[in-house]
């Protein structure tokens, strides 16, 4: 299909002049509107204003300009139906072969401080989506362009094909166009259904900040890849990214080498990455089956790795390792010396030497992810017939916010270790009990129905690793409902405990801590992670 006439009307004018020039150079007649038409004329291009084209002036402050039979007839007429062609010919309607449209800046408008409902409504495009949808529906005869990234490739294809665009190209543009309008409408729906009742009565006043949870939630994700399978081989799976992934999230990874990532690889990598990037000091996190099995901080990444590996060397085999700094050859050599098999290795960067040493491990997946502590705005969990939505767990205990509830006061070193332990427990599946000391995990108990069982498992893990729990500190992701958990961790050798508090039996638990000579601090916030 040869492009002979194009309609260009854009809000975002990035690259559109060059695109129009490229079209004109190939003999394409240009139609346009308002500011776009002026910009093209000022650049020396011959442009027909849409009002001159339709014989009907723009009206209602520009609300009505392209909503006209001469525009939509020229777009929607099927080229393969003689009766359609006869109809538009009878009414003097030329065909429009290419439509280049993007929409009023609703997102930018609602992002402004103090935006009014009136301003927001005025920045809801009507004619633009109508043209986009009309063009996309009739992709057999019309090319719809909504993304400036497509300008150059389309011009190149036209040059190579005597001004024509292939059917596959037009169909691809149509899919992108319907996605464009769907997400535009979804954004409007999310914003409007998030407003307080009565907002419509005060359109000229600053609109209230929309609710975190709109009454009608529309989501948008882009498929990155089809995965080999899901959690198990009989399940199908795919990975979708946010349309604009959160900075520093696992979705922003670049894979340097290795096999394709699996469903479980991505899930475990996310767990490791979210944990490791929460530390300021050089840190290493080893994850197995979504749980940290070793976490440590140290003066160097090598030191952090050595310490984290000691926690549970058995579980570390076949795990995911994440670092929060540049990985050097010393870390790679340490992994190689102990023949540490790893599924995925993650860091913000790797030295050239480290990359060269890793290159021979063809199956090892190596990911680079930029460091950022930005969290997702919302977290989702699918349940039967619905979706659980919550804000992220962005609470991290600080020394100044701790409440000391026992007779024994924690030392400065214990406070430091307790805060480290609390940060680790935040990423361990509930019920979580984490023994720590000297900037490393000593034993991790996770995912048990009983907190006492988690405590026992953590103690057993430490014993198997040959790690001494005497003098250690312990973090619990939620309060101790009974004193029995405190009894077990005290028997294991712990000397200080950090927990949320808030149980109806807090007094009983505190009394148990005092009885054992433990220091106990409350954070006031739990970290359930089911």
**Is the peptide bond between 528 and the residue preceding it cis, with omega within 30 degrees of 0?**
no
Q: How far apart (Å, rounded) are the C-alpha atoms in residues 280 and 390?
A: 26
Residue with tokens 């009307």: 9
List phi, psi (to 5°) of 431: -75, 135
Residues belonging to the chain: 530
- Residue 84 bears catalytic tag: no
- CA-CA distance, 482 to 177, in Å (whole number)? 59
CA 445 – CA 425 distance, rounded (Å) = 10
Q: Is 60 exposed, middle or buried (0-12, 13-18, 19+ CB in 10 A)?
A: exposed
Of the residues 84, 176, 202, 289, only one is catalytic, namely 289
User: CB of 227 within 8 A of CB of 238?
Assistant: yes
Cβ(4)–Cβ(98) under 8 Å?
A: no
Residue 369 main-chain phi, psi, to 5 deg: -135, 125
68 belongs to the catalytic site: no
| 471, 503 contact by CB (below 8 A) | no
Whether 52 contacts 42, CB under 8 Å: no
Phi, psi of 247 (to 5 degrees): -60, 135
Give the CA count within 13 Å in the CB-facing half-sphere of 268.
Answer: 27
DSSP state of 281: S
Q: Give the angle 32-69-26 at the CA atoms, nearest 5°.
A: 35
Are 287 and 429 in contact by the 8 Å Cβ rule? The answer is: no
**Catalytic-role residue among 4, 13, 84, 137:** 137
The dihedrals phi and psi of 166, each to the nearest 5 degrees, come to: -70, 155
Q: 319-323 and 283-288 as β-strands: parallel, antiparallel, unpaired?
A: antiparallel
Residue numbers annotated as active site:
137, 289
């Amino acid at each position: 299909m040869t492009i002979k006439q194009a309609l260009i009307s854009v809000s975002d004018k990035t690259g559109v002049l060059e695109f129009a020039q490229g079209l004109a150079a190939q003999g394409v007649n240009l139609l346009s509107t308002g500011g776009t038409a002026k910009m093209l004329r000022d650049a020396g291009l011959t442009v027909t204003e849409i009002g001159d084209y339709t014989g009907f002036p723009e009206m209602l402050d520009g609300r009505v300009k392209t909503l006209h039979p001469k525009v939509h007839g020229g777009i929607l007429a099927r080229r393969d139906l003689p009766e359609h062609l006869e109809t538009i010919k009878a009414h003097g309607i030329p065909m429009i072969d290419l439509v280049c449209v993007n929409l009023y800046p609703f997102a930018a408008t609602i992002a402004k401080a103090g935006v009014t409902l009136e301003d927001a409504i005025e920045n809801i495009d009507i004619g633009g989506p109508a043209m986009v949808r009309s063009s996309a529906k009739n992709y057999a005869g019309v090319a719809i362009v909504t993304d400036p990234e497509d300008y150059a490739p389309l011009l190149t294809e036209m040059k190579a094909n005597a001004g024509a665009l292939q059917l596959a190209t037009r169909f691809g543009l149509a899919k992108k166009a319907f996605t464009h309008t769907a997400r535009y409408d979804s954004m409007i729906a999310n914003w409007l259904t998030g407003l307080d009742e009565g907002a419509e009565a005060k359109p000229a006043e600053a609109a209230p900040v929309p609710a975190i949870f709109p009454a009608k939630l529309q989501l948008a994700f882009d498929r990155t890849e089809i995965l080999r399978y899901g959690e198990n081989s009989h399940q199908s799976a795919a990975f979708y990214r946010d349309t604009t992934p959160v900075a520093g999230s696992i979705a922003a990874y670049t894979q340097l080498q290795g096999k394709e990532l699996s469903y479980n690889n991505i899930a475990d990598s996310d767990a490791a990455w979210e944990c490791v990037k929460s530390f300021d000091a050089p840190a290493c996190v080893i994850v197995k089956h979504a749980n940290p099995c070793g976490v440590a901080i140290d003066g160097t990444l090598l030191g952090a790795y050595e310490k984290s590996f000691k926690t549970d060397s058995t579980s570390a085999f076949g795990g995911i390792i994440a670092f929060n700094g540049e990985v050097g050859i010393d870390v790679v050599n340490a992994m190689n010396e102990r023949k540490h098999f790893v599924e995925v290795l993650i860091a913000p960067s790797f030295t050239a030497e480290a990359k060269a040493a890793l290159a021979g491990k063809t199956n090892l997946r190596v990911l680079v992810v930029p460091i950022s502590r930005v969290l997702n705005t919302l977290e989702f969990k699918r349940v039967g017939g619905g979706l659980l939505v919550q804000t992220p767990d962005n609470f991290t205990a600080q020394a100044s916010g701790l409440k000391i509830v026992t007779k024994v006061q924690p030392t400065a070193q214990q406070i430091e270790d307790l805060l480290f332990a609390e940060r680790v427990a935040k990423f361990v599946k509930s019920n979580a009990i984490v023994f720590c000391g000297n900037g490393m995990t000593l034993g991790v108990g996770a995912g048990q129905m009983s907190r006492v069982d988690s405590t026992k498992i953590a103690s057993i893990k430490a014993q198997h690793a040959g790690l001494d729990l005497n003098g250690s500190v312990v973090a619990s992701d939620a309060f101790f409902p009974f004193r029995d958990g405190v009894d077990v961790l005290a028997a294991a050798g712990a000397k200080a405990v950090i927990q949320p508090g808030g149980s109806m039996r807090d007094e009983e638990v505190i009394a148990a801590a005092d009885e054992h000579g433990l220091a106990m601090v409350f954070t006031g916030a739990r970290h359930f992670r089911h």
